[in-house]
Structure 1
Amino acid sequence: MSRGVGLEALRRHQLAHLTPAGWAGLLAQSGASFEPMAQDCLHFWAEHDLPLVVTRQPGAGRVDPQGQLALGLPAPAAWQRLRLALQVPLDSVARLGEFPPARQALPLLPALARAPMQRLLDALQVLDCPARVHGSHGWQLISGQTCLRPSSDLDLCLPVQDRAQADAVALLLAAQDGSALPPLDGELVWPDCAAVAWREWAAWRAGRTREVLVKRLHGVTLERGVGA
């Protein structure tokens, strides 16, 4: 990839910004394989230089440097919330980025939810867990387009270092159920990029399940030893 972005940097939920040549190639490809509404959405994305998101990659645990990178685009409401699965050559990616810090989503929340959300984010900061916002809230911040529904969950990326921190974060999030906040969704993400839905982690740690679903760049597995 250009500008020194290495394969080792790839992770799920990263934002991939394409080069001009990358967009040109993707738009040419879409003209033959996508319906007009999807093409229109991609043209809007290209014109505004908006990012795509790194999704689960095919293959057995590695990305081929000469191969294709799987990306996604969950379209806003203006394009009927289409979910576009895309592939581009690796050298079409100019740079990788991250979803916004969760604090940036505060203005998108209902008024009654903002103070509880601020308190939650402060508590996560104390736990050394700087949350980022994915999902509809994240995409609305990134694109400026309407992505939210009244029923939208608040989807968080929650970096953790070990089981003790993951337990503390999950306990904090569970305590928000029934509050003024939107339903809280999201993943605990370890340094090796293994990710587990926080509610599934809490259920597993409480002994309600024997295994937990772990998501990585190249697939998902049921495991008993994550975070050890």
Structure 2
Amino acid sequence: MVSLHRHQLAWLTRSGWAAVLGRPWDVQARDCLAHWALHRLPLVVTRQPAHAGADGWIALGLPAPACWGRRRLVLQVPRAAVDGLGEFPRLADVQDLLPPPAWDVLRELLGRLSQCHAAARVFGSYGWQAISGLDHVRAGSDLDLSIAVEGAIHADAVARALGLFEAPQLRLDGELMFGDGAAVAWREWAEWRGGRARAVMVKRLDGVHLHRDAAWCGHTEPMEIAA
């Protein structure tokens, strides 16, 4: 199986779902999981325990929609129970879910990202609603983007493009995804690279770490340091 990364979707086999549903869940959780199994909906790869790779199990999550209390269900399955892996929808494919006043600004953002040779995917409530068709989005939900970047300079360009997004009723959030699996919130990246923060929080599947220098992302030029 290919390596796992943040915001990756995982579809279970029928036998995998049968094993999950055979576990002791409460009524609400079982109801939600049964719907996911019936409609062959994906789960999402979450932070992996230290022993996960060695024992052949994968930690997965399911952020339930409003009809099941918006619960965050967590479970582990053997790798053999995973039928396939995939990604969240592209930003261009979820436009109809966004508030209409944001559509023009969204198209401008897509143009800027295209100029940066970057493609955005939508996770979070908008991404899940696009996948399930259920009520994940609520008033005030952020638009969460996951954008693959090819190093610090590319990340700078993408963060600048994101920083120009201003839409009524919609806040832009999300992460820059580096090639080795590291992820950084784009707003925190911009603050750090601009010298307004001393360190940046880098997230990986096995945990979170604070970094002061840029060696982790292959960048060795000196940076401004916040006073």
TM value normalised by structure 2: 0.92
3-state SS of 2:161 partner: helix
Distance of 2:169 and 2:86 partners within structure 1: 27
Matches within 5 A, 1:58-207: 58-59=49-50, 63-64=53-54, 66-177=55-166, 179-180=167-168, 182-207=170-195
Match of 1:218 among 187, 202, 206: 206
Q: Report how many aligned residue pairs link the two structures.
A: 216
Amino acid at match of 2:18: A
3-state SS of 1:192 partner: coil
Identical-pair percentage: 51
Distance of 1:96 and 1:172 partners within structure 2: 29
Distance of 1:86 and 1:45 partners within structure 2: 13
Distance of 1:162 and 1:59 partners within structure 2: 27
Distance of 1:206 and 1:84 partners within structure 2: 37
Aligned-CA RMSD value = 1.3
Instruction: For residue 168 of structure 1, report the CA deviation from its aligned partner.
Output: 1.2
Q: Which residue does the alignment assign to 2:225?
A: none
Amino acid at match of 2:180: D
Match of 2:17 among 20, 23, 29: 23
Contact 1:131-1:158 at 8 Å conserved across structures: yes
Amino acid at match of 1:185: D
Instruction: For residue 180 of structure 1, report the CA deviation from its aligned partner.
Output: 2.8
Q: Which residue does the alignment assign to 2:45?
A: 54
Is 1:12 aligned with 2:6? yes
Amino acid at match of 1:56: R
3-state SS of 1:63 partner: helix
Contact 1:116-1:181 at 8 Å conserved across structures: no
List runs of 5+ in structure 2 lacking aligned partners: 220-227
Amino acid at match of 2:46: T
3-state SS of 1:97 partner: strand
Distance of 2:160 and 2:56 partners within structure 1: 41
Amino acid at match of 1:50: L
Amino acid at match of 1:54: V
Amino acid at match of 2:14: P
Q: Which residue does the alignment assign to 2:224?
A: none
3-state SS of 2:53 partner: coil
Distance of 1:165 and 1:109 partners within structure 2: 27
List runs of 5+ in structure 1 lacking aligned partners: 1-5
Q: Which residue does the alignment assign to 2:32?
A: 41
Instruction: For residue 154 of structure 1, report the CA deviation from its aligned partner.
Output: 0.1
Distance of 2:144 and 2:190 partners within structure 1: 16
Contact 1:117-1:181 at 8 Å conserved across structures: no
Contact 1:154-1:184 at 8 Å conserved across structures: yes
Contact 2:140-2:169 at 8 Å conserved across structures: no
Distance of 2:115 and 2:200 partners within structure 1: 26
Amino acid at match of 2:72: R
Distance of 1:110 and 1:49 partners within structure 2: 28
Instruction: For residue 167 of structure 1, report the CA deviation from its aligned partner.
Output: 0.9
